[in-house]
Structures are given as structure tokens and as C-alpha cells.
Structure 1
Amino acid sequence: MAKRDYYDVLGVARGASADEIKKAYRKKAKEFHPDRNTGDPNAEGKFKEANEAYEVLKDAEKKAAYDRFGHAAFEGGMGGGGGPRGGHPGGQGDFASAFSDVFDDLFGDFMGGGGRGGGRQRAARGADLRYNLRISLEDAYRGLQKTITVPTAVTCGSCSGTGAEGGAEPVTCPTCSGMGKVRAQQGFFTVERTCPTCSGLGQIIKNPCPACHGQGRTEKERALSVNIPAGVETGTRIRLAGEGEAGMRGGPTGDLYIFIEVAEHNLFQRDGVNLYCRVPVPMATAALGGDVEVPTIDGGRSRVKVPAGSQSGRQMRLRGKGMPALRGGGQGDMFIEMAIETPVNLTTRQKALLKEFEGLSADNHPEADSFFGKVKGFWDSMKS
């Protein structure tokens, strides 16, 4: 079967620039790579065809010969010595050379973004730590200084974090010569992997520290003093830079994140900077009006005037008696929700007075009259 035109294989015009040819080849190589098309038996052939085309068109001399003579330039009669620079364009050595141009694009995600010829990894940074801290609503109102105990990895004192006995410096890894990566030829491919000897660090320790076994850090509990600002709420995150886990072999220390959880309160409910408190009000006080005493989050108390005829659910606001804003900006409010309380365990005299009151109050229930008027209208509409 006749070979396809190399320009058609890559999908570019004959006047395409070198960058356009390279870009087109990368696209085809990714599209037809056998590892990405395990279910397509034709993918490998198309992949090799694209590679062969690119091997010719990326080279100025080979491209000029191809533009003049076509495929005949590489069939022994035109190129001399098997084509410009020798060798068939689809040969194994040239295949690896061409494929190396797009190696990073195809496998960069799997190799950790290191790329070809990348240097060794830096000493590993320590992990960030999380500490969950539960505090009361009063503490969230006032703010507090609290000491916490955090189990973590700290720099080994015996080797000063180097991981080597006596604090000696690590030596260059002989396997990867300090690069942290090794290459292996697998057929057409040159595969780059993390060095198995040094785990990508580029250095090894000849005599590991007996205290930390070459890790450069040891497990220990630390006591830390944490400043909890006033106004924090559940979900607030406090970052303590450099208070996390120590890095491997002298690597930088991670951070400590403290996540705040504010416990529920038995009197107050919180909504942002505002507080809500449900206060029972005697039926007589609600009907006649009067005062009730309510608590405040600062430990004080306030007297609230109850207007005559108050109903359950009515709210009264105490300005500035809520929670402080976390980063300044004033104070929230406290809302008192009235819960009208019906008396229980009535005496004979109390029952008699209430019955007398009921007889005198037949026309004094505006909310009930409104509700049952709506109910009657609803029933009448259902009948019709």
C-alpha cells in the first residue's frame, strides 16, 4: 500500500512552519498513543506513521529532500546512504529521538511534572497538621489564650535534622548521580523514573542517625499557646506558620491549622454576630404588660419591657448585646423571643376566675377570629 503524504498524516499544509509541524505532531502523538488507546488496534500504526512523518519534517535537510522528491528521497535512490543524515526515517533510534520531543507532554502528569533532565527533589517539606478545638460560646465572646498539646514530628536533636549520625552531611546518590531520577530504555521508549535508591532526593545517608533512623525527625508532643480572638465561630481557621510537622532531612516545617468549634449554649442561639434567647412570659404579664429580666452573654442581666397584649413569638431587640465581630466592626444584637406561658395546676379559685374572664372576653381574640375566618372561607371554597 502506498505511503500517505507526510503533510496529510500530520494534518498541516506544505508551507507549515517548524512550530506548526511540532504542534501538529504532539497532537497526533497524544491522540494515537497506544497506552491511551488500548481498545483500538489501529492506534499503534497511526502513532508510528505520525512519528515517521515528524522525523522527516522536523529536520530541515530531510524536509527539503522530501518536498523535492517525496518518499523516493528515502528509498535508496535519492538521498544517498539511506536518506539525509543516513538511516530510514522510521528507524528505532530516530523514533526515540523524535518521541523525546513530546515525552514531557505525554507523561508529565504521571512523572510529577519533573520533565526530562530534571534535577533532584528538594528536602521534603513537613506535613501541615490539623487540630480541632472546641470552646464555649462565652469563650468565643471574650476570646481566650489557651494551651494545647499537639503530637507531631520535630527536628531530631541528635543529628540536627540531617538524618546522618553525628550530623554528617548526606552524600550524592551513586545511582542517579544526584539527579533524583533514572532513565531506562524500553523498546522505542525512554522512561524516566524516581531513583529507587534515594527516593528522588539525590542524596543518601551512609550512617543513619540511630535516634531518628535517618528520617531527620522524631515524634514528640509539644505544648503551644494559642490566642483565640473574640468573635470566632464554628469553622473559623487559625494558622500557626511553622508549627506543623518537621520536614524530612532538614526540609521546611509545615503549618498548624486550628479549626474552631463553638459548643451549643443552653440559653442562647447564635446567628453570625446576633444572639437569640427564648424567654417565657407569664400569661398575665403578656396581657397586662410588665417587665421581665433576661440574661446577657457577658454575664449580666437586662430588664425588658413587655407591651400589653403581647403574643408568643414577638421579638424584642437589645442593641449591642450580641457577639463581637471577628475583625472589628462593632457588636451584634440580642433578640428576645417571647413565649407566652399558660398556667398549670390551677386551684379551684383560679379556675373560677378564668371561666369568668372567658365569659367576659368573647370578643377579645383578634388573632383567633382572623384565623377561623380564614378556615371558614377555606371550607366554603371546598364545598363549592
Structure 2
Amino acid sequence: MAKRDYYEILGLQKNATAAEIKKAYRKKAIEFHPDKNPDDKEAEAKFKEAAGAYEILSNADKKARYDQFGHQAFDGNGGFGGGGGMNMDDIFSQFGDIFGGGFGGGFSGFGGGGGQRRTKGSNLRVRLKLTLEEIANGVEKKIKVKRKVQASGTTYKTCSTCNGAGQVMRVTNTILGRMQTASTCTACGGAGQIIDKKPADADAQGFKVKEETIPVKIPAGVVDGMQLKVSGKGNEAPGNGVSGDLLVAIEEEDHPTLQREGDNLHYDLYVSVPDAVLGSSKEIDTVTGKVRIKIEAGMQSGKILRLRGKGIPNINGYGKGDLLVHVNVWTPKTLNKTQKEFFETMKDDEHFQPKPENSDKSFFEKVKDMFS
């Protein structure tokens, strides 16, 4: 099923400001809030959908990637991406403050959910180097990370300060009447629980560091600097909190012969004067292996041969880019006596005189074509 456009979900135009995005999300969140729509599965789905859209559009970096690549920038990596990977605790943990105290930081009404706010563990960040071949074909990588997990034997008890709510309610008398506000409990950090017992080798929060190998599926067509998210594979949270996420930043390695430009690839092919004059065939690199191409007799230096579909797959699924082969005729720098004599006799030969045709584009025309 196709995902809805995030701007459409929030009722926004693509040029919406950060303030407009926040206002639109708050309106949708209040409309479909679980406290206003108890036991309404359709409202729950729309509430999550709005939260997923806001999670992307409220972050300048993620918004820029979404504007450029669409849903494919976040698919296949465990990201929220439209609310599909978010549960109600995730939403209130991340965006609870946007309701301005109108509903508090907890929720109720969906399957008997509790009233306390669940804390979220911290995220982990790693950089992953990929070859051009891996980017072109997609790959699954196994990444070793050291993450904090609850030590065996660690137990928790209800926080006596907030009685397990994770929040402390305060009533203030003002000229407008009595106003009630909620703030995160400082004793338990909003978890509603504090450590009761922990093993001697655990840290103050009851955690131990554990090395874990995590498989990460990399979709074809990712770009340098793109960040993928694997939900729940960051550091664990104390008590009944939710784990943080593993953020994987893509780093593209240089290729020895290919240069990437968006979805297209460029290859510099050098041919000798005899090959250019008489014609030949050459083997060149592509991201799917080597291919042999034909050099027609009389090939001119600067000619660009286009191999369609031999580039990088578009991350949005719009086909593949092309491989552009730039032909460069290599002029010898040193010649022996016999070779010099041959070219001396050819200087005035009519076949060696430049006679560009209308189809032979100038350098500037070729550059213009490349960028159009």
C-alpha cells in the first residue's frame, strides 16, 4: 500500500515553515488524541500517521532528505516513516510536550495503556562505508555496536516522588483561577521507577555494556551523508522504558575508475590514435561487472557514449541512471624517427585536416547537454 505524502497528512504545502508544521501537527494530534477517541482504531492510526509525518518534517535534515528522495529515504531501515514503526509510547516520549499540557505526557484508551510516560534510551551513531557496487546493488551489513543493556538481576520499584506516574502535578493559584501543570519527575527522570537492586558490576543506572552484531539492510541508491535508523537498537532505558535507536550514517567510498553524479556514473576511456582512427573494442568497468564497448572508426576525442541503465538505481524507484563513457584520444608525447616521418608526411594530407560536422558538438554544448 502506497504511503501518503507527509505534507498531505498534515494539510500543508511543501514550503511550510517550522512553526506551521508544528501548529498543523498539534491540531491533528489533538483531533485524533486517544483521550478524545477511546477505543477508536481509525483515530489511533491517524494519530500515529500524523506523528510519523511530524517526526520527519520537524527535523530540518530529515525534511531535506524527504523533499529530495521521498519515502525511500527512510524505507527499509526501521525508521518511523509515517508512524509504522512508532508505538504510542514512542510518540508521547518524543512529542509529549507539543500538547502544551492539554493532555499531559501520558495516554489511555488503547488496549488499556498505562498513564505514565515511558522514557527512551539514548541513540547510538555509527558511520558505515559502502563501495559504489554495494550502493548500486543494495546490501545487508552486519554492524558491531556496544550498547547499554539492563544487567541481569537489576530490579526496580515504584518512584515514591511521583507514585509511578513519571510526572509531578502542581496546582498554582493565579488571577485567572487555579491552574494545574505537569512536569517530569526529577527523581526518576519520567520513568516512574527507580532502582531497587542491581549487581555489583552494573553502573549506577543498572546497565552493563554489551557488544552486539546488528544486521542492517541498505537499500540500493543511498547517497553519501544519508542517515538510516534501526529502531530499538540504541541504549536501553531504565525500568519499562523504550530503547533508543541506532543511527547509521552512509559514507560512500571513492571508486578507482567511476565517478558518481546523482544516479549517473562517468567513466574516462583513453584510446590510442590508431584505435580512434581504425576502430577497436574496449573493456570498461561498471557497477555490475565489466562490459565491452565498440569504438567506431574515426571516433573523435570528447565523444560521450551513453550506456543506458548502467548507473545507480534511483532511491525512489524511478529506474536506473546511465553510465556516460567519455572518450579521450591519447596523443603520444614521444615518437621515434620512423613515427615522426610518418606524421610529417600526413601533415598536409586532406584526411588529417580537421573537418568538424554539425553533429560534432563543441565542448560547451556537451557540458550544456550534461546538465540539461
Cα deviation 1:148-192 (Å, max 9, x = unaligned): 101211232222xxxxxxx3x41341x455563375989999997
In the alignment, which residue of structure 2 is the partner of 1:125? Answer: 120
Once residues 291 and 245 of structure 1 are traced to their aligned partners in structure 2, the CA distance between those partners, rounded to angstroms, is 56
Contact 1:172 1:203 in 2 (8 A): yes
Once residues 141 and 110 of structure 1 are traced to their aligned partners in structure 2, the CA distance between those partners, rounded to angstroms, is 41
In the alignment, which residue of structure 2 is the partner of 1:21? Answer: none
Cα deviation 1:334-358 (Å, max 9, x = unaligned): 2210111101220011112112211
Matches within 5 A, 1:58-77: none
What amino acid is the match of 2:354? Answer: H
Once residues 324 and 243 of structure 1 are traced to their aligned partners in structure 2, the CA distance between those partners, rounded to angstroms, is 28
Cα deviation 1:118-164 (Å, max 9, x = unaligned): 888623111232221101112223333322101211232222xxxxx
Once residues 116 and 336 of structure 1 are traced to their aligned partners in structure 2, the CA distance between those partners, rounded to angstroms, is 61
Cα deviation 1:226-249 (Å, max 9, x = unaligned): 233344332444332222221122
Matches within 5 A, 1:23-38: none
Pick the aligned partner of 2:208 from 214, 218, 224. Answer: 218
> CA shift at 1:261, angstroms?
1.9
In the alignment, which residue of structure 2 is the partner of 1:89? Answer: none
In the alignment, which residue of structure 2 is the partner of 1:255? Answer: 245
Contact 1:283 1:342 in 2 (8 A): yes
Once residues 217 and 304 of structure 2 are traced to their aligned partners in structure 1, the CA distance between those partners, rounded to angstroms, is 35
Task: Indicate the SS of the match to 1:284.
Answer: helix
In the alignment, which residue of structure 1 is the partner of 2:62? Answer: none
In the alignment, which residue of structure 2 is the partner of 1:334? Answer: 323
Pick the aligned partner of 1:154 from 124, 149, 172. Answer: 149
Deviates more, 1:132-141 or 1:183-192: 183-192
The alignment status of 1:316 with 2:311, answered yes or no, reads no
What amino acid is the match of 2:302? Answer: G
Gaps of 5+ in 1: 1-108, 160-166, 368-384
Once residues 306 and 288 of structure 1 are traced to their aligned partners in structure 2, the CA distance between those partners, rounded to angstroms, is 8
Contact 1:292 1:306 in 2 (8 A): no
Contact 1:153 1:246 in 2 (8 A): yes
In the alignment, which residue of structure 1 is the partner of 2:254? Answer: 264
The alignment status of 1:242 with 2:237, answered yes or no, reads no
Contact 1:155 1:250 in 2 (8 A): no
Cα deviation 1:6-31 (Å, max 9, x = unaligned): xxxxxxxxxxxxxxxxxxxxxxxxxx
Pick the aligned partner of 1:135 from 130, 147, 159. Answer: 130
Deviates more, 1:278-287 or 1:182-191: 182-191
Task: Indicate the SS of the match to 2:239.
Answer: helix
Task: Indicate the SS of the match to 1:138.
Answer: helix
In the alignment, which residue of structure 2 is the partner of 1:280? Answer: 270
| Corresponding residue pairs, total | 250
Alpha-carbon spacing, 1:194–1:143, altered in 2? closer, same or farther (3 Å) = closer
What amino acid is the match of 2:246? Answer: L
Once residues 317 and 191 of structure 2 are traced to their aligned partners in structure 1, the CA distance between those partners, rounded to angstroms, is 47
Once residues 135 and 261 of structure 1 are traced to their aligned partners in structure 2, the CA distance between those partners, rounded to angstroms, is 6
Structure number with higher strand proportion? 2
What amino acid is the match of 1:275? Answer: L
TM-score normalised to structure 2 length: 0.56
Cα deviation 1:207-235 (Å, max 9, x = unaligned): 45544345243222211122333443324
> CA shift at 1:257, angstroms?
2.6
- Could you say what the CA RMSD is over the residues aligned between the two structures, in angstroms? 3.7
The alignment status of 1:170 with 2:165, answered yes or no, reads no
**Larger relative contact order, structure 1 or 2 (CA cutoff 8 Å, min sep 6):** 2
Alpha-carbon spacing, 1:204–1:134, altered in 2? closer, same or farther (3 Å) = closer
Matches within 5 A, 1:34-49: none
In the alignment, which residue of structure 2 is the partner of 1:298? Answer: 288
Matches within 5 A, 1:41-120: 113-114=100-101
What amino acid is the match of 1:133? Answer: L
> CA shift at 1:296, angstroms?
2.9
What amino acid is the match of 2:327? Answer: M
Alpha-carbon spacing, 1:202–1:332, altered in 2? closer, same or farther (3 Å) = closer
Contact 1:158 1:211 in 2 (8 A): no
Cα deviation 1:85-106 (Å, max 9, x = unaligned): xxxxxxxxxxxxxxxxxxxxxx
Pick the aligned partner of 2:223 from 233, 237, 248. Answer: 233
> CA shift at 1:316, angstroms?
0.8
In the alignment, which residue of structure 2 is the partner of 1:359? Answer: 348
> CA shift at 1:267, angstroms?
0.7
Deviates more, 1:176-185 or 1:222-231: 176-185
Cα deviation 1:10-63 (Å, max 9, x = unaligned): xxxxxxxxxxxxxxxxxxxxxxxxxxxxxxxxxxxxxxxxxxxxxxxxxxxxxx
Cα deviation 1:59-117 (Å, max 9, x = unaligned): xxxxxxxxxxxxxxxxxxxxxxxxxxxxxxxxxxxxxxxxxxxxxxxxxx999945799
Gaps of 5+ in 2: 1-95, 107-114, 357-372
TM-score normalised to structure 1 length: 0.54
